Amino acid sequence: MEYVQLKNTDLTVSRICMGGCPMGGYGWGHVEEKELIDAVHIAMENGINFFDTAETYGLGQSEKTLGKALGSKRNNVVISDKFGVHARAGQKTFYDNSREYIIEACEGSLKRLGTDYIDLYTVHYRDGKTPLAEVVDTLNILKQQGKIRYFALSNISEADKEELKNCIGSFCAFQNEYSLACRKNEKDIFEFSSKFNMTPMTWGSLGQGILTGKYTADNVNFSENDRRSRDIYVNFHGDKLKKNLQIVEVLKRIAKEHGTTPSSAAIRFILDYISESVVLVGAKRPSQIADNAEASGWTLFEEELYELLRISE
């Protein structure tokens, strides 16, 4: 496994981070708690020491499952948890970065995780009204109390750059969507990491699964409880699906050359192309996380990297 030190911290994390969205048990089809827990254990056996979750994943279920899976091994890993999506059963969901909410959200996450600290506390989404400096002040209070160690950002864009100029050094990492199926954030990712001294983390790194090689034009009929059945998940619909399947064919050929899988090759592309990056990948079962771990310890040939850049333009 390859590791990187998060900027402005003493945290050394695996460059492959297990994403916890499927652990929420919502929107990814059928999941089994035992398989999810086994996947966490397999991840650790493969050297993965970095786990990402969020308060909103399954309204806290992801945190509960992760905490249960880690058990006494909690202090051996780095947990990234996210806040900012104010979601409560029976209530309207909205983005919230207020001090009151952040403190409430942190207390709830600590309880569900079964821990007394969160290594990396991440703003899931900006709420469009709370100044970033105010968010930093609240997070520093939690840090002084020992409830969080460091903090990060997620889903940031051009609109956040001006405020970030006054917060350089406060945030150690940021998460944005990025994969061979979605390169729209590429320019921002390179700029944020260099200009604001933050470690880049990518989510949606396998295009919600389309880059695994598992799907064809004939088998993308998802059940109603799988979010990918909706048109908004463009990777599985229309012309975007056709384009993605062309990328998959190249990944299959490259994977065969290296004796690995398309998933591994797709993750390796990000690791090679975005230096010192961390790739978040969700998993519902042990075999998937073991497959993802194969992306570590080798590199793409230069011509393979350029071919993937061309086909995914």
By annotation, the residues acting in catalysis are: 57
Q: How many residues does the chain have?
A: 313
Amino acid identity of 17? C
CB 281 within 8 A of CB 19: yes
Closest CA to 25 of 243, 227, 279, 186: 227
Q: Using CA atoms, how far apart are residues 296 and 146, in angstroms rounded to an integer?
A: 33
Are 15 and 264 in contact, with CB atoms under 8 Å apart?
no
Residue 119 dihedral angles phi and psi, to the nearest 5° = -65, -45
Look up tokens 């790194």; give the residue: 205
Q: Give yes or no for a contact between 186 and 218, defined as CB atoms under 8 angstroms apart.
A: no
Pairwise CA distance, residues 216 & 116, whole Å: 45
Closest CA to 289 of 210, 212, 223: 212
Q: How many Cβ atoms are within 10 Å of 281's Cβ, its own excluded?
A: 29
**CA terminus-to-terminus distance, the chain:** 29
